[in-house]
Amino acid sequence: MRLHSRFLFFHPIQKVKVDHMNHEMGLYPENFETVKSGQKRREYRLYDEKRQNIRPGDTITFYNTESNKRVTVLVESLHIYGDFKTCYQDFWEEDFADRGITVEQLVQDTYRGWWSKEKEETYGCVVIKFKPL
């Protein structure tokens, strides 16, 4: 009986040191408090150059935009989307259903208060899942 190998070359496994980064992001006081208490476990952001550098295993230090208090969390996963509507729909029940508004209203609030539709079309968006440290 002849054994066939589908590998042409064998390389020893080497441990690779991965340097994790810490990122800083501001939050309004009400959102800061929900992160600090552990209630909020996902952050929704434009997937711009700054957020494209975030990787699972990194940390994020959120700071309160009014008091400059800080809390650090560990990034568990990233969910990348082409638009905010789709990401909001995917996590609607867990994060938004109790707000008394529709997905469409939340998308319009996003365009008015944070990022334009043009930026959304350029970058898409990211849902950052994290846990408290």
pLDDT digits (tens, 9 = 90+) for 43-66: 999 999 999 999 999 999 999 999
pLDDT bucket at 68, cuts 50 / 70 / 90:
confident
Which distant-in-sequence residues (6+ apart) come within 8 Å of 50 by Cβ? Answer: 23
Nearest to 51 by CA among 81, 85, 23, 32: 23
**Could you state, in order of their start, the residue ranges of all structural domains in the chain?**
22-132
Q: Considering the domain 22-132, what is its CATH architecture?
A: Roll (2.30)
pTM score, whole prediction: 0.84
SS (H, E, C) 98-127: HHCCCHHHHHHHHHHHCCCHHHHHHHCEEE
**Model confidence pLDDT, tens digit, residues 74-132:** 999 999 999 999 999 999 999 999 999 999 999 999 999 999 999 999 999 999 999 99
